[in-house]
Structure 1
Amino acid sequence: MNDPVGSRQANLSRLLRLIHLEGPVSRATLTAATGLNRSTIADLVGDLVTSGVAEERAPDPSRRVGRPSPLVTAAPRVIAVAANPEVDALSIAAVGLDRRVRRRERIEMTELLSPERTAELIGERISSWRRDDLAGSVVASIGIAVPGLVRGSDGLVRDAPHLKWRDVALRELVQDATGLPAVVGNDAAMGVVAEHLFGAARGIDDVVYLNGGASGIGGGLIVQGIPVGGASGYSGEFGQNRPGIASPTDRRAADGVLEDEVSRARLLAALGRHNADEPELAELLRTSDAPDVLDEIARQRRILATALANAVNVLNPAVVVLGGFLAMLAEHDPSGLRQAVVSQTMPANGEDLEIRPAALAEDRLLIGAAEAAFAELLRDPSVIALR
């Protein structure tokens, strides 16, 4: 039995997703992409504009051949708030449905964030922004990227060891503090989605992503174009693997896991620094010629290469994407790192492998969190009327 209401909602969802991922796009492009006729596209676009999630703009005047088609774009007033609590800072951003990062702040921490303080700070920033340059914006939802195990079924933070959070109902805390819906997920799992949709792995169906942050190393997987979370949502914890270390002199942590050996904190210590944000750390590593720093970079690259080779042998990705300080390690000699990885893989697995830095740089986790926050709206564009 036909369900015209359900069919219309599905078509609205399809169009809004296309506009969000590809926009601005013309009505003609939407017609070609969906196979729907022009009058149906015009009707659906009208609904999206009326509901406030899309806008139509005049076509590019430089395109004078034929009858120009109006451009359809996601409404910039619709935003998601994205947050990433870490051991040294809370990063928070307003990301538009049009994919622009409208606002970004990094709040430095001198002590570990509690879940309650995290929710409080998110609420404070939203209230402040609404009085400032985001006045009139509509917040679709809040996405929080947590460096730890997050249960897929309900967003419960099972264990964020570096933050010392265990079995925390962070979603409920944030919703109570803000009055807005929220979604919570693992930071690297959100990061791989962002890089797959908009960054270094765009258009690639098999991807391994490793994220290096203040809390260690996490990972995310795309297999045949689909994000893989595992039975409970805990997949991708590459940082907890036991690394193969060829030389005993390279080992720093007795019986340590990968993130104990390949570590942002060890890089900072070699630089004589306590803290630095990602752009500053990247510049320090890029410009330092201190022997201790160069030796530490080389040591971590050797161990990282073996860890990546193990992942490549198991998962056979087309691309490995490295984020955070791992991208900085790779950038010292990209071809050298690839050669070190491939030399430890089965020949067929490594022959077409690419290793790329995260294209979204320091925004990758926040854009991933925003994407999770937009998910409900993209499934059902009518929900924005309830905000």
Structure 2
Amino acid sequence: MHSSHRAETFPVNTPAASQVFTTVLSHGPLTRLEAARRAGLSPAAVTKAVRPLIEAGYLTEDTDGETRPALGRPANPLRVNGDRALFIGAKVTGDEIICVLTDLCCRMRVSRHVPLPGPDPRAVLEALTAVTQDLLTEAHGLGAAVLGLGIAVSGDVDRAAGAVRYSPFLEWRDVPLAELAATATGLPVTVDNDVRALTVAEQWFGAGAGLSDFAVVTVGAGIGCGLVVHGRVVAGAHGVAGEIGHVTVDPAGPPCHCGNRGCVEAVAGDAAIVRQVGEATGLPVADTADALELAHRGVAGAREVYARAGEAIGRGIATVANLLGPERVIISGEGLAAYDLFAEQIRDAFAAAAFGSAARCDVQTRPLPFEQWARGAAATAIQSFIRADDQRPGR
């Protein structure tokens, strides 16, 4: 739709080429033989795939000849040339946009926080366009073109259509965000759920690199879950795969904004914790900082709220482990500020509810600031750029 704005396209459009490039991106530098083994391709297929990528400057070959097999030519490692292109990632929250400029290896070069007057889509688009222009100016100084913009939003997001179907925290319904942002910025735009975007970054550059099956669970305003199954981030047929925040853990529990009762989010989301700590203590609790302070001070009732939240999260994670058997579950999100208050309950509830060998799943915590979520959005833009099978508005 806006292809005239794209400075260039990825030089090859075969699945093998994007697979080889992604493999080197996540695990490089790699020799051709190592890349072939990791990508499950023949060495000849790798050689064919990398030639145009080297010619276009996306891959470079170390030619010092130090890595030498027992016989034959030196095995020169391939690496991604991170300076070849830049990408912008934006994470939209209820009150601000966190924006980052990254290179092709998703290393953050510049970050910006822009306050939002409110969640109205027009105001968000205006602020997003302004900060994008600012980062395009920064990119010009770095001497590389920006080849895509990724936007991460909480809720039900249809990446293929570039639309936010429903975002409870932003109160958005059916906002064609990719199309609007592509028109406003002149860039190809990828829009994805914020937890899935974070999962892409963890898969390529973080604690999920090299794993074929893992999950990212985020705790905070909502309880989210990103799933990687057989090496692919799963969205499901309707884009809401992994919604463990709306797994019922207590049928008689508090009502959830989704219409059900006793969801993980209704017990362990920030708003639920603030409300429950207020009810349990009889004290005014304005936000999570107040709730945390009361719990850390040992005020009667406050710690129990966090204990119940930890139990709900642990049971939600066990549900994921039982259904999918991931090698690892990475717990992240702003709610980790309270981790010392519910870590034990998460572990105990997970161990109690995980079936058989699912309990062997490696559960890790990984505090990630919001810049990392914006970096996840940039990772989705990089993914869209290099994947021939990924169609989206603004392409």
Q: Please list every run of 5 or more consecutive structure 1 residues that lacks an aligned counterpart in the other structure.
A: 1-5, 381-386
> After superposition, what is the alpha-carbon deviation per residue over 1:280-324, rounded to whole angstroms, capped at 9, x for unaligned?
x7xx96998322464443332123223333333333333222120
Secondary structure, counterpart of 1:369 in structure 2:
helix
1:220 is matched with which residue? 226
The correspondence for 1:172, drawn from 175, 179, 184, is 179
Which whole-Å CA distance do the structure 1 matches of 2:125 and 2:359 have between them? Answer: 46
Which whole-Å CA distance do the structure 1 matches of 2:165 and 2:255 have between them? Answer: 28
Q: How does 1:1-387 map to 2 (within 5 A)?
A: 9=14, 12-26=17-31, 29-30=34-35, 35-36=42-43, 41=47, 45=50, 47-56=52-61, 59=64, 69=76, 72-109=79-116, 111-132=117-138, 135=141, 136-214=143-221, 216-244=222-250, 255=261, 257-265=263-271, 289-292=296-299, 294-330=303-339, 332=341, 334=343, 337-346=346-355, 348-358=356-366, 362-379=370-387
Verify the 8 A CA contact 1:91 1:106 in the aligned structure 2: yes
> After superposition, what is the alpha-carbon deviation per residue over 1:157-213, rounded to whole angstroms, capped at 9, x for unaligned?
111111011111000110011001101111112222322333223333333332234
Verify the 8 A CA contact 1:27 1:72 in the aligned structure 2: no
Q: What's the offset of the Cα at 1:145? A: 1.1
Verify the 8 A CA contact 2:129 2:181 in the aligned structure 1: yes
Cα 1:132–1:274 change in 2 (3 A) is farther
Q: What's the offset of the Cα at 1:342? A: 1.2
Which whole-Å CA distance do the structure 1 matches of 2:306 and 2:342 have between them? Answer: 11
Cα 1:157–1:336 change in 2 (3 A) is closer
2:392 is matched with which residue? none
Secondary structure, counterpart of 2:25 in structure 1:
helix
Cα 1:23–1:64 change in 2 (3 A) is closer
Verify the 8 A CA contact 2:32 2:43 in the aligned structure 1: no
Q: Which deviates the most, 96-105 or 286-295?
A: 286-295
Secondary structure, counterpart of 1:244 in structure 2:
coil
Verify the 8 A CA contact 1:305 1:337 in the aligned structure 2: yes
Q: What's the offset of the Cα at 1:64? A: 9.8
Secondary structure, counterpart of 1:210 in structure 2:
strand
Counterpart AA for 2:23: L
Secondary structure, counterpart of 2:237 in structure 1:
coil
> After superposition, what is the alpha-carbon deviation per residue over 1:34-92, rounded to whole angstroms, capped at 9, x for unaligned?
54359x84x8656324424334556498x799958365332324122111111132111
Verify the 8 A CA contact 1:80 1:370 in the aligned structure 2: yes
Cα 1:31–1:203 change in 2 (3 A) is closer
Cα 1:309–1:145 change in 2 (3 A) is same
Counterpart AA for 2:380: A
Cα 1:315–1:260 change in 2 (3 A) is same
Which whole-Å CA distance do the structure 2 matches of 1:373 and 1:141 have between them? Answer: 5
Cα 1:64–1:15 change in 2 (3 A) is closer
Q: What's the offset of the Cα at 1:150? A: 1.4
Which whole-Å CA distance do the structure 2 matches of 1:188 and 1:125 have between them? Answer: 22
Cα 1:69–1:301 change in 2 (3 A) is same
Counterpart AA for 1:125: V
Which whole-Å CA distance do the structure 2 matches of 1:204 and 1:227 have between them? Answer: 12
Cα 1:14–1:208 change in 2 (3 A) is closer
> After superposition, what is the alpha-carbon deviation per residue over 1:81-112, rounded to whole angstroms, capped at 9, x for unaligned?
11111113211111221231112222233x42
TM-score computed with the length of structure 1 as normaliser = 0.77
TM-score computed with the length of structure 2 as normaliser = 0.76
Which whole-Å CA distance do the structure 1 matches of 2:92 and 2:242 have between them? Answer: 19
Q: Which deviates the most, 148-157 or 236-245?
A: 236-245
Secondary structure, counterpart of 2:235 in structure 1:
coil
Query: In percent, how many aligned pairs have the same letter?
Result: 26
> After superposition, what is the alpha-carbon deviation per residue over 1:258-298, rounded to whole angstroms, capped at 9, x for unaligned?
3232123466786988679xxxx7xx969983224644433
RMSD, aligned α-carbons: 4.0
| Count of residues paired in the alignment | 363
Q: Please list every run of 5 or more consecutive structure 2 residues that lacks an aligned counterpart in the other structure.
A: 1-10, 279-283, 389-394
Verify the 8 A CA contact 1:24 1:71 in the aligned structure 2: yes
Secondary structure, counterpart of 1:119 in structure 2:
helix
Counterpart AA for 2:133: S
